[in-house]
Structure 1
Amino acid sequence: MKKVQLLLSAIILFSVYCAQAQEVKAPKFGKGIFDIKGEDDSWSMNLSARMQFLAISEWESEDGNLANPESNFLIRRARLKFKGFAFSPKLQYKIELGLSNRDIGGASEFTNNAPRYILDAVIKWNFYGNFTLWAGQTKLPGNVERVISSGDLSLVDRSLVNSRFNIDRDVGVQLRHHFKLSENFIVREKVSISQGEGRNVTTGNLGGHQYTGRIEMLPFGSFKGKGELKGSDLVREENFKLAVGATYDFNNNAVKTRSNLGSYMETDTGFYETNINTFFVDAMIKYRGFSFMGEYASRDAKDAVAKNADGTATGAIVQIGNGLNLQAGYLFNNNYEVTGRYTNIDLDRITGKGLEQQYTLGVSKFIVGHKLKIQTDISYLSKENSNNQLMYRLQFDVHF
């Protein structure tokens, strides 16, 4: 732990020294701590930092009354991000490090029992035309809500559909391409092959590999400022914009309960392996301050119940089923936004969880866009097989 802290300190001090040595002025707020480029234009680096402070209170509903109150204060996220190009603008890189306990938790024998500091470590090589090859650890081309940064959300955090079904980050390669069907109609294709066990795994590959394909269509052209990757219409699109996407993910001989997430399915002889399929359809709409995002997710497995060699169940079960998430918001001229969300989770009965429905209402104040904002929301969760829950959250974001 101390070695990692010293390394991070050294990186920051070295970066600041480089910036001072070249007399580089600090960028505008929200554009990074500094932005430097080599004298021969052969490399560049932008360093940015962000933090989220979260306060949360929860209650259970028993016979119409609120009971069992719980509250917590969290440094939800604290991160450093380095990005730029090396040798040529066609060879870009990104490194993102998580420093909060929520970012680095989940250490196990499969991650060398070390904190999982690295979120992203990826290079992006635009080797020909509109083709770009990605290599390293980063987000897979999954559902749009997951691809949107946690700092660019309309509500305090992502939906239950994302937490139950998303395919998150993994180590591997991705090939991305885009073309135009007409002057405005844009099509994007993304395929990836990855290890299939999530981020920061150090013990080698268990089971098979994970294969992901996604297609996106933007019939009315690109969004301003990559708005299809942001949760609110902060630029107030003057023309109607739509992005529709679909993803299919196949994890061959997966050994975790949520494809490349969840817990390992260990048996008396090793690991339980089963094929897991995950499918997403999603859409994003923005127009003059109005934003809408909809997602449908579905997951199934060849055999969802993990078994020992003698056929007895281990207790581990793949979370199969489907989910629906619908979210809409409107940004007023004073940069306050009101957002509503409906989420439906219907897991297969073998998981014992059954149907869940969550209703969320949130209010956000954007001081400097997503770079400095305050968000609050309240959610009511209806559960089929347990007590319902009420949750209130307040979060402060600052991004340098």
Structure 2
Amino acid sequence: MIEIKSISPFWLSFFTALFLGIYFTPVLAQENDSTRIVNEQKNFLKHSSKGFILATEDGKYEMQLEARLQLRFAVPDDQDPVTFADFANQDTRVFKINRARLKIGGHAYEPWLKYYFEYELSSSILLDYRVMIEKWPWLNFKMGQWKVEFTRERFISSGNQQMVDRSLLNRKFTIDRQQGVEVYGNLDAGGIANFNYWLGIFTGTGRGSTQNDDDNMMRFGRFQWNFLGRQVPFSGSDIKISPKPAGIIAIAGVTNTSPYTRFSSAGGGNLSGFEGTNDGQYYVKQYQVETAFNYKGFSWSSEFHRKYIYDTFDEVETNLGGYYIMAGYFPGQIIDFWPKPLEVAARYAVVDPDLEVIGLKQREAGVVFNWFFSEHKNKLTAELTRYTFQDKNLPQQDELRFRIQYDVSF
């Protein structure tokens, strides 16, 4: 597999500055009146929820620049427990810059020809790069590398999450970022006849991998019914205090053959107990059913997963399962003394690492408080979570974790 070389923050900043210099030089060179130049520049540069926006007067070209920082304190640890051994370390403290992102998006030539890049500065990783053709609501195309829309929990940006981080299910069931092509759109016949679809083919070897390991590509499909005639945005919490209810029911499926049984921002990897590295060793198929609902400050989401892994070398099959439910509310809607920007939410998740083994369960139960200074662009989050691992052959293990996080975009 060919790995994409990471771009250092210095060179990324250099090329961005170079682009801006080339972009504005012809415009400024045409003006002799300095006052007029200043006035015209005001039209070119503005700020919105997407960050700083540079645009031409005719609207054919637009570039959005946004930076984001996520600061986190955690005790006793910041990583979700994966095995029973992970419960041994109960006395650590963690303070870190969890994410430092630079996002560049916009359109070129036509408003419907869009592009997007996302770069992780702290670890020098190019996360996303994609081009989208979105001329018609019912038929759109995407190519490049991005988080596949398999699960709502993973597809939602880490800056728009309701909890500090994603649930225990994420490690086991996400397919994360992949390289490939996709067709998608919204089919709206009015009322309850409102549907979204996504169909894609990918290399199936994770972020940064430009080629498949064999002739079996990853195949993905998602079908979503917006049963109230409105889509629930890919964002946690009902910050807008929706005056009308919106709900979805979705089903998604994936098949893939590769050396990997899990994916993350680091690329392809393996779950505990799957140590093979041979090309095409693991045949994986999985599906999930999810729901989401928003109305007047109340938000709900859930996912139900099944995953089948077949080791083609050792001829062993494993079935995994899991689900989570999550709900949040802004009590200030009904309680006078409760601050309006303060949300409370809770999540309960269960993972079954092997459906054939009775009594083997991993559980997570958490409560979170979000104070939104400026929606998801500027928020403070405090979370308390309890993890429980159960195995009939071992003593039950428990961990209580506290995390506080500040997330800001500008």
TM over 0.5: yes
For the residues of structure 1 that align with 2:239 and 2:225, how far apart are their CA atoms? Answer: 22
Q: Give the secondary structure class of the aligned counterpart of 1:271.
A: coil
Q: In 1, are the aligned partners of 2:169 and 2:323 still within 8 Å (CA)?
A: yes
Give the equivalent residue in structure 2 for 1:48.
66
* Normalised TM-score (structure 2): 0.81
Equivalent positions of 1:231-310 (< 5 A) are 231-251=236-256, 253-258=257-262, 261-263=268-270, 270-271=278-279, 273-303=281-311, 307=314
Give the equivalent residue in structure 2 for 1:390.
400
How far does residue 14 in structure 1 lie from its aligned partner after superposition? 3.4
How far does residue 12 in structure 1 lie from its aligned partner after superposition? 3.6
Q: In 2, are the aligned partners of 1:138 and 1:169 still within 8 Å (CA)?
A: yes
Question: What amino acid is aligned across from residue 254 of structure 2 in structure 1?
Answer: D
Give the equivalent residue in structure 1 for 2:199.
191
How far does residue 2 in structure 1 lie from its aligned partner after superposition? 10
Question: What amino acid is aligned across from residue 213 of structure 2 in structure 1?
Answer: L
Q: Give the secondary structure class of the aligned counterpart of 1:229.
A: coil
Give the equivalent residue in structure 2 for 1:331.
330
For the residues of structure 1 that align with 2:141 and 2:7, how far apart are their CA atoms? Answer: 33
For the residues of structure 2 that align with 1:139 and 1:2, how far apart are their CA atoms? Answer: 18
Q: In 2, are the aligned partners of 1:276 and 1:300 still within 8 Å (CA)?
A: yes
For the residues of structure 1 that align with 2:88 and 2:285, how far apart are their CA atoms? Answer: 39
- Give the one of 364, 373, 397 matched to 2:370: 364
Q: Give the secondary structure class of the aligned counterpart of 1:70.
A: coil
Calculate percent identity across the aligned residue pairs.
Answer: 26
For the residues of structure 1 that align with 2:6 and 2:233, how far apart are their CA atoms? Answer: 40
- Give the one of 159, 166, 171 matched to 2:174: 166
Q: Describe the shift of the 1:172–1:353 C-alpha distance in structure 2 as closer, same or farther (beyond 3 A).
A: farther
Q: In 2, are the aligned partners of 1:319 and 1:351 still within 8 Å (CA)?
A: no
For the residues of structure 1 that align with 2:364 and 2:101, how far apart are their CA atoms? Answer: 29
How far does residue 263 in structure 1 lie from its aligned partner after superposition? 3.3
How far does residue 222 in structure 1 lie from its aligned partner after superposition? 2.3
**Is it true that 1:205 corresponds to 2:212 in the alignment?**
yes
Q: In 2, are the aligned partners of 1:258 and 1:318 still within 8 Å (CA)?
A: no
Relative to total residues, which structure has the larger strand share, 1 or 2?
Answer: 1
Equivalent positions of 1:52-131 (< 5 A) are 52-58=70-76, 68-101=90-123, 117-126=125-134, 130-131=138-139
Question: What amino acid is aligned across from residue 228 of structure 1 in structure 2?
Answer: P
**Deviation digits for residues 294-336 of structure 1 (CA, Å, limit 9, x no counterpart):** 11111002338x64xxx8xxxxx98741111000010133110
Q: Describe the shift of the 1:200–1:214 C-alpha distance in structure 2 as closer, same or farther (beyond 3 A).
A: same
For the residues of structure 2 that align with 1:67 and 1:9, how far apart are their CA atoms? Answer: 39
**Deviation digits for residues 17-53 of structure 1 (CA, Å, limit 9, x no counterpart):** 4579561465346430x21123443321111111100
For the residues of structure 2 that align with 1:364 and 1:88, how far apart are their CA atoms? Answer: 38
Q: In 1, are the aligned partners of 2:115 and 2:132 still within 8 Å (CA)?
A: yes
For the residues of structure 2 that align with 1:205 and 1:212, how far apart are their CA atoms? Answer: 15
For the residues of structure 2 that align with 1:261 and 1:298, how far apart are their CA atoms? Answer: 20
Q: Give the secondary structure class of the aligned counterpart of 1:256.
A: coil
How far does residue 352 in structure 1 lie from its aligned partner after superposition? 11
For the residues of structure 2 that align with 1:271 and 1:183, how far apart are their CA atoms? Answer: 47
For the residues of structure 1 that align with 2:326 and 2:6, how far apart are their CA atoms? Answer: 43
- Could you tell me which runs of 5 or more consecutive residues in structure 2 were left unpaired when the two chains were aligned: 29-39, 333-339
Tell me which moved more, 123-132 or 68-77. Answer: 123-132
Question: What amino acid is aligned across from residue 54 of structure 1 in structure 2?
Answer: R
Give the equivalent residue in structure 2 for 1:111.
none
Q: In 1, are the aligned partners of 2:207 and 2:268 still within 8 Å (CA)?
A: no
- Give the one of 27, 35, 44 matched to 2:46: 27
Q: Give the secondary structure class of the aligned counterpart of 1:339.
A: strand
How far does residue 66 in structure 1 lie from its aligned partner after superposition? 10
Q: Describe the shift of the 1:200–1:318 C-alpha distance in structure 2 as closer, same or farther (beyond 3 A).
A: farther
For the residues of structure 1 that align with 2:343 and 2:197, how far apart are their CA atoms? Answer: 32
Q: In 2, are the aligned partners of 1:171 and 1:194 still within 8 Å (CA)?
A: yes
For the residues of structure 2 that align with 1:213 and 1:2, how far apart are their CA atoms? Answer: 30
Question: What amino acid is aligned across from residue 196 of structure 1 in structure 2?
Answer: G
- Give the one of 146, 157, 160 matched to 1:152: 160
Question: What amino acid is aligned across from residue 230 of structure 1 in structure 2?
Answer: S
How far does residue 163 in structure 1 lie from its aligned partner after superposition? 2.4
For the residues of structure 2 that align with 1:209 and 1:126, how far apart are their CA atoms? Answer: 25
For the residues of structure 1 that align with 2:95 and 2:352, how far apart are their CA atoms? Answer: 30
How far does residue 155 in structure 1 lie from its aligned partner after superposition? 0.9
Question: What amino acid is aligned across from residue 70 of structure 1 in structure 2?
Answer: T
Tell me which moved more, 317-326 or 186-195. Answer: 317-326
Q: Give the secondary structure class of the aligned counterpart of 1:6.
A: helix
Q: Matched residue pairs, number?
A: 367
For the residues of structure 1 that align with 2:18 and 2:75, how far apart are their CA atoms? Answer: 41
Q: In 1, are the aligned partners of 2:137 and 2:187 still within 8 Å (CA)?
A: no
**Deviation digits for residues 279-304 of structure 1 (CA, Å, limit 9, x no counterpart):** 11111111100111111111002338
- Give the one of 342, 346, 368 matched to 1:340: 346
